[in-house]
Amino acid sequence: MSVRQSLLAILDQGPCYGYQLRAEFDRRTGSTWPLNVGQIYNTLERLERDGLVARGDADDQGHVYWSITEAGSAEVAGWLSSPVARNQGTRDELAVKLAVAATLPGVDVAAVIRTQRRASLAQLQTLQDATPAGTEPVGPVELARMLVIDAMVCAAEAELRWLDHVEQRLAQHPQHALALELSAERPKRGRPARAAVPA
């Protein structure tokens, strides 16, 4: 999730100070992804370094307003008009966990999957409880919240379908056939052995 581009997009609507940006981000994402103020100020400082925002003077209450630059507005336009690129390789912790577990001798992968399924079902139930059926958003804040929760529900449902798929795939192979022992082949690269120090 791009905090950087989201904050820039908000600043493209007009100058804001740090806490105001936090509140705007919260409103526009349905309070589903809390940001701390330190993260916002760190992001603003990096954006300033990159020439995408400019720091203004403090007002009477001590609020420092940040404004977007032309380069920042161009980045927002590019972000909004481009698709989100999904990584080719996976860094998904669950996928990696199950792949490793399936190849470890003596691991009950079915138990690992059952544990995850219980957690995924509980997460899905929590999300569904947060959005009663037939509830339609009545304003932009409610709509923003609903869009984010809908995405989270779809992701939880997809995770459960994927767990079903993993179970089916593993059922095609006896567990002992999947176990990988440590390879006897040693990589060519690595830390060289230390030479003995003469006494």
Which of these three, 54, 81, 108, is where a domain ends?
A: 81
What's the rounded Cα separation, in Å, for the pair 75 and 68?
10
Other C-beta atoms within 10 Å of 72: how many?
A: 24
Domains identified in the chain, total number:
2
Same domain as 100, residue 174: yes
Asked if 71 and 103 sit in the same domain, the reply is: no
In a domain, 20, yes or no: yes
Q: Of 32, 24, 31, 30, nearest to 6 (Cα)?
A: 24
**Residue 166 neighbours by CB distance under 10 Å:** 20
Q: Which two tokens stand for residue 139?
A: 């304003």
DSSP state of 52: S
Closest by alpha carbon to 117, among 148, 175, 162, 169? Answer: 162
pLDDT of residue 96: 81
168 occurs within a structural domain: yes
> Would residue 88 count as lying in a domain?
no
CATH of the domain at 75: 1.10.10.10
Q: What is the pTM of this model?
A: 0.70
Q: What is the pLDDT of residue 26?
A: 86
Domain-embedded: residue 113:
yes
pLDDT computed for residue 37 by the predictor: 87
Segments forming the whole domain that contains residue 42: 3-81
pLDDT in tens, the chain (199 residues): 488 999 999 999 999 999 999 988 888 887 777 788 899 999 999 999 999 999 998 889 999 999 999 999 999 999 998 887 776 666 778 888 888 888 777 788 889 999 999 999 999 999 888 876 666 767 888 888 888 888 999 999 999 999 999 999 888 876 656 666 766 776 677 666 666 666 5
Q: Which of 46, 81, 116 is the last residue of a domain?
A: 81
Q: Is 139 inside any structural domain?
A: yes
- End position of a domain, from candidates 33, 54, 81: 81
- What is the model's pLDDT at position 196? 60
Residue 86 belongs to a domain: no
Does a structural domain hold residue 87?
no
Is there a single domain that holds both residue 24 and residue 72? Answer: yes
State the pLDDT at residue 197: 61
